[in-house]
């Protein structure tokens, strides 16, 4: 049974009035689906004209490189959304591949329903546009970050893109080694070797689960 609480962790939907959320959940174009660990949710030739909201679990977003490698783009968690690239377009191929990396639940809202929400809640439309602008900036940074190949290059690009000014230092948010390795699509052993090498080169410093970018 769908519950309004599914929207609480999603910045796009959370500010919506209760009536709008209730309208969306009760609509025939809204449904929730379960996915097993490792199951593909979207891929290049199999997707829906729907916006997906993760209500449980985690999913990995990857993109195929020209040389056949799968490049890790992002790891999505509860409250994150995907599928915007499938809406309001006639393209017959999706741009990335999305797989469940744990047992997951996804709430799918079809394109027609999103159009109706635009009509009854103009502020939702503005938040959706803002979300798309954020995705453009995020993906541009990812393209720059992951065109390189080595673990050291990927890690250094991640730190450069993620570090923020804090007390005169550029430091990343806290992230576990497991999650960072997953996001970079490398093993934990490769991650630790890359960290040690970059620390030795005085390019980064470690502070618990955070990484400092050195000048």
- Co-location of 127 and 171 in the same domain: no
Residues 168-179: tens digit of each pLDDT: 899 988 888 988
The total number of structural domains that make up the chain: 2
- Identify whether 144 is part of a domain: no
| Same domain (yes/no): 9, 114 | yes
Indicate whether this model's pTM tops 0.75: no
163 and 132, same structural domain? no
- pLDDT tens, residue by residue, 119-153: 999 999 999 999 999 888 877 776 666 555 688 98
In a domain, 179, yes or no: yes
Token output for 112: 């027609």
Cα–Cα distance for residue pair 214/169, rounded to 1 Å: 8
Q: How far apart are CA 123 and CA 144, in angstroms?
A: 32
Q: Token pair 């009035």 is at which residue?
A: 17
In this structure, the answer to whether residues 102 and 158 fall within a common structural domain is: no
All residues at 6 or more sequence positions from 22 whose CB lies less than 8 Å from its CB, including other chains: 4
> How many angstroms separate the CA atoms of 9 and 144, rounded?
29
111, 161: one domain: no
The answer to whether 162 and 212 are in contact (CB under 8 A) is no
């Amino acid at each position: 049974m769908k519950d309004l609480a599914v929207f609480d962790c999603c910045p796009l939907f959370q500010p919506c009035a209760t009536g709008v959320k209730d309208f969306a959940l009760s609509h025939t174009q809204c449904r929730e689906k379960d996915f097993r660990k490792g199951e593909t949710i979207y891929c290049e030739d199999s997707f829906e004209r729907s916006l997906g909201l993760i209500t449980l679990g985690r999913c990995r977003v990857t993109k195929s490189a020209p040389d056949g490698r799968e490049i890790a783009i992002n790891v999505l968690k509860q409250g994150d959304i995907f599928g915007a690239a499938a809406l309001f377009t006639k393209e017959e191929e999706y741009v990335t591949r999305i797989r469940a990396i744990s047992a997951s639940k996804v709430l799918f809202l079809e394109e027609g329903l999103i159009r109706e929400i635009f009509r009854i809640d103009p502020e939702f439309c503005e938040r959706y546009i803002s979300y798309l602008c954020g995705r453009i900036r995020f993906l541009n940074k990812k393209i720059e970050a992951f065109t390189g190949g080595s673990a050291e290059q990927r890690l250094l690009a991640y730190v450069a893109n993620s570090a923020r000014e804090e007390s005169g230092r550029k430091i990343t948010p806290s992230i576990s080694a497991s999650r960072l390795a997953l996001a970079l699509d490398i093993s934990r052993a490769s991650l630790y070797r890359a960290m040690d090498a970059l620390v030795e080169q005085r390019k980064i410093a470690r502070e618990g689960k955070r990484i400092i970018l050195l000048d």
